Amino acid sequence: MIEQKNEENYDVIVVGSGAAGIIAAIVAAREGKKVLLLEKLSKIASKLKATGGGRCNLTNTLSNEDFMARFGREGRFMQDALKAFDNKSLVTFMDEIGVETHAPDGFRIFPTSHSSATIIAGLQQEMIRLGVSLTCNQRATRLLATGNHIDGIKTQTDIFYAPNVIIATGGLGYPVLGAEGDGYNLASEVGHKVTELSPAMMPLKTKETWTKQCKADTLAKVELRVNLKKHKKLRAIGDLIFTNSGIRGPVVLDFAREVTPLLKKYGEVPLLLNLTKGKNEEQIREHFKKELAKEEISTVLQLLRTLLPQALCLELCRLGDIEADIKYKKLGGKKRDKLISLLAWTPLTISGHDGFKMAMITRGGISLKEINPKTMQSKIMDGLYFCGEIMNLDGPCGGYNLQWSFASGYLAGKLLKLA
């Protein structure tokens, strides 16, 4: 293919038109810079469009301290970016570009239109207003540098020059939406370290096949625990849905971040599930006592139905080798104990997942040690900046990852250079 040297020089080239790249381009242009935004797909913001099931949960109402805590050990890296651009700044920014937002449950913030398309239209309009040059179908393939200074970027067909390049190419999850890990290669070619990458936030597969009989119902407040001696502290609570091949739902998406590294290490991960909204064995016994006092409740199934959907009750009976239609009072002591223990802690074994194909987030990324948190600039290469999911930071479900993308993109777009 013939390479074309682009005669036009830019102040900054942003690679990747996700949440992070677009806001970086807007902020740089607002600072008076001449900006080129490169996107390898034919359209901008494909992943942003798919967020929140098309509704885009763009941030949440947490304080910066609580927000950072939910990202684990690395969370404090975000301090400066959040100070510069927190949830309130994001809501104000959205308002400025004509996107009204609200928090229907008091926590998660969405556009009031309930459509990510509104956000994309607002961002696109702002880029047009500011004169950002946007080029789609341009895949960046190599960073150009002289010594430790950035000179520009090479794409599959062109060469573009600028003293500043912002890499916002995302992670590895949902590759159909554009993120295929190109940015990791671009960065590692100039000396950046990429930490181990694992898929996170995705449905999980189980060894047990009974889940397929129970797939119709969403169960609220299910507690999941890892049943491995060294990892007993790993637990999560939330809504869970059984599937043909395992489990999904908000609690599973969040817990997958913890489970994938263990799966790599142990091959399988045993879990214990409390399906009874946190009732322990004693509380289940008490509950049974009360229910059995009612005339209409006498069989095991009738009793279990007071806690769980029918399909799940039948599966638990099967697991405990207990007849569902038998009168509970006729059940022997051992069988009663078994049933109650199954209700308090149902065993399930995680055996796999669909990998990055279905992962909403990538765990791992460009090592934070080599990025200045006050500017998002590389400590290795002058004029090189990073923002968004490409960095080694990942948060749970609930607007965390987009807020981080917007905040880091905002800071990168400022193109601050500290001595």
Ligand X SMILES: Cc1cc2nc3c(=O)[nH]c(=O)nc-3n(C[C@H](O)[C@H](O)[C@H](O)COP(=O)(O)OP(=O)(O)OC[C@H]3O[C@@H](n4cnc5c(N)ncnc54)[C@H](O)[C@@H]3O)c2cc1C
Q: Contact positions toward ligand X, by CB under 6 A?
A: 15-21, 38-41, 46-48, 50-52, 56-57, 139-140, 168-170, 173-174, 178-179, 182, 360-361, 388-389, 399-402, 405
For 95-231, list the strands marked E by DSSP. Answer: 101-102, 108-111, 133-135, 140-146, 149-155, 158-161, 164-167, 198-200, 204-206, 218-226
**Closest C-alpha among 235, 247, 237, 241 to residue 207:** 247
CA distances from 339 to 301, 346, 407 (A): 11, 10, 49
Task: Give min distance, CB of 171 to ligand X, in A.
Answer: 7
Instruction: Round the CA-based radius of gyration of the chain to a whole number and report it.
Output: 25
Closer residue to ligand X in complex, CB, 19/119: 19
Residues ≥6 apart with Cβ < 8 Å to 300: 317, 322, 323, 324, 325, 326, 327, 328, 331, 339
**Closest C-alpha among 273, 211, 201 to residue 246:** 211
Closer residue to ligand X in complex, CB, 38/308: 38
Closer residue to ligand X in complex, CB, 118/274: 118
Task: Give min distance, CB of 108 to ligand X, in A.
Answer: 8
> Is the separation of the CB atoms in 414 and 27 below 8 Å?
yes
Task: Give min distance, CB of 47 to ligand X, in A.
Answer: 4
β-bridge partners, 13: 36, 165
Alpha-carbon distance of 208 to 214, in angstroms, equals 12
Task: Give min distance, CB of 217 to ligand X, in A.
Answer: 23
CA distances from 360 to 59, 119, 244, 312, 354 (A): 16, 19, 20, 28, 11
Task: Give min distance, CB of 21 to ligand X, in A.
Answer: 5
Closer residue to ligand X in complex, CB, 186/240: 186
Closer residue to ligand X in complex, CB, 39/315: 39
Closer residue to ligand X in complex, CB, 86/182: 182
Task: Give min distance, CB of 173 to ligand X, in A.
Answer: 5
Closer residue to ligand X in complex, CB, 320/388: 388
Task: Give min distance, CB of 316 to ligand X, in A.
Answer: 32
Cα angle for residues 283, 219, 62 (degrees, 5° grid): 95
Alpha-carbon distance of 319 to 312, in angstroms, equals 10
Alpha-carbon distance of 227 to 273, in angstroms, equals 10
Closer residue to ligand X in complex, CB, 173/249: 173
Task: Give min distance, CB of 96 to ligand X, in A.
Answer: 20
DSSP string, 377-405: BBSSSBTEEE-GGGBS----SSSHHHHHH
Task: Give min distance, CB of 410 to ligand X, in A.
Answer: 12
> Is the separation of the CB atoms in 151 and 159 below 8 Å?
no
Closer residue to ligand X in complex, CB, 38/284: 38
Alpha-carbon distance of 15 to 182, in angstroms, equals 10
